[in-house]
Amino acid sequence: MSEPIEPPWSAEQIQALAPDASSLKSAVKLAGASGWSSTGTGGTPTGLWGLCQGSGSTPYQICVDLTEPAYKCSCPSRKFPCKHALALLLRWSAGKVDAAAPPQWMTEWTTSRGARAQKKAEAATAPRTEAQEKAAAKRAAKRAESVAGGVAELRVWLSDQVRHGIAGLDQAGYRPFEQVAARLVDAQAPGLAAAVRRLAPLPSSGSGWEQRLLAELGLLHLLAGAAADADALPEDLAVTVRSRAGQQVSADQVLAGPRVRDRWQVVGTRDELDDKLNSRRVWLRGRDTGRAALVLSFAAQGQALPVDLVLGTELDAELTFYPGVAPLRALIAERHGAPSTCPAPGPAQTVAQALDEICTALAADPWLFSWPLLLTGAFAPGQPWHLVDADGDALPLDPSFGEPWRLAAVAGGEPITLAAEWGPSGLRPLTVYAAGEVVRA
């Protein structure tokens, strides 16, 4: 028998791709079942395929491209990836998928994917017509006018808070903030609306809420003032201010920018789910540059979020960053080969190095509310818990995360590498790397 593709992803990495718990449970059961008539790793250097007997007379045809990854299955499931694709990946992880010549349907899928990718690349580089440019300029001017109106309303509201005082806001609930946020959404300023909504929980957050709210109101006042006079700001800062207000930069514009090639390590993921829109933040760290990057994706309620970046892997890729004074959000412009496992990401930082990085980012963009860090240290219990490095420096964990006993057990009292989001309340753990294990928080 031929050797399987090495190194395979771990079962835990594959489980993180599951769209829900029921799909994962079914996939685990299916991976060990006898209904697999054939499987293989042929077709491309990074392709998996399999035939799995379902309830019908014809086996389901499953294709997986490990490069993105991407999936296709002939089953009727609307989940992505479906239980059959997950089960095939689990069998591959367990060493039960060997190299074999691909069937025609696998070859057709990989060929059609290549053709679509080439068409997409050609469309992205094609220049816009004069009519398209005029239409885009007209839409941008109309939106700018709407946002300016929303900013003016926000500044009046902020002045009212100073004039009347904030003492009664702890009794008013979320309503005063929600009303302002709703008007900003109507004014096409979703970034400002989100900033106002983040203020709503503060009056009920316990003692000292007045100071925290005043600090946040001050930052919001600074942002509103900058947005009202963005044309007078340096270009990078103006772009950042407009982005914070909610102005969108198209993917085509971002992809046309300079590229940064590196071994990008997928060090952490975090999902935020609400009634209308789900989001996924995937944090990357360049192995050579040490640079942080955020790949952000969205899906409507009931739809699956993208699963093309696998936790605990690294990929040789070129990224393009959204413009701004502290560029962080990025798009993957081009991949070079399949991802490989990454049980020990780096370079990991000391607390002092992390604080230097945070200070530099905040000095450029004072409206940041999260920043990714890759730290080395050990967990220390307390109120709150801390991550302590070899120099004795420490950063607190965000109390809202709870007590990280499970992660501490994985560490076993030894130093670990921790991927975390820094925020005003402390570190929010995302992933622990210890003794070759990749454990999602």
The residues that bridge with 278 in the sheet, in sequence order, are 299
Look at residue 3 in the predicted model and tell me its pLDDT. Answer: 42
Find residue 432's DSSP bridge partners: 418, 439
The predicted pLDDT at position 384 comes to 92
Phi, psi of 436 (to 5 degrees): 80, -5
Both tokens assigned to 47: 């392709």
Summarised one tens digit per residue, pLDDT across range 244-297 is 888 878 888 898 899 999 999 999 998 887 666 788 899 999 999 999 999 998
Enumerate the H helices of 126-234 as residue ranges. 130-164, 169-172, 175-186, 190-197, 209-228
Phi, psi of 92 (to 5 degrees): -60, -45
Beta bridge partners of 50: 39, 62
DSSP-derived secondary structure letter, 365:
-
Q: The whole model's pTM is what?
A: 0.77
- Joined together, the tokens standing for residue 221 give 């006042």
Question: Which amino acid appears at position 286 of this protein?
Answer: G
For residue 163, the one-letter residue type is R
Q: How far is CA 400 from CA 47, 403, 415, 419, 428, in A?
A: 41, 9, 23, 17, 8
Structure token digits, residue 373: 């860090």
pLDDT at 246: 81
Interatomic CA distance for residues 401 and 407, integer angstroms: 12
DSSP state of 87: H
Q: What is the pLDDT of residue 1?
A: 36
Mean pLDDT for all residues in the chain: 87
Q: Are 267 and 284 in contact (CB under 8 A)?
A: yes
Q: Which DSSP string corresponds to 256-301?
A: TS-EEEEEEEEEEEEEE--SSEEEEEEEEEETTT--EEEEEEEEET
Ranges of each domain in the chain: 11-120, 135-245, 251-341, 351-440
**Strand, coil or helix: 368:** coil
Q: Which residues of the chain have pLDDT under 50?
A: 1-5
Note the pLDDT of residue 327. 93
* pLDDT value of residue 154: 93
Which residues sit opposite 239 in a β-bridge? none
| pLDDT of res. 2 | 39
Q: Output the CA torsion sign for 270, 285, 197, 277.
A: negative
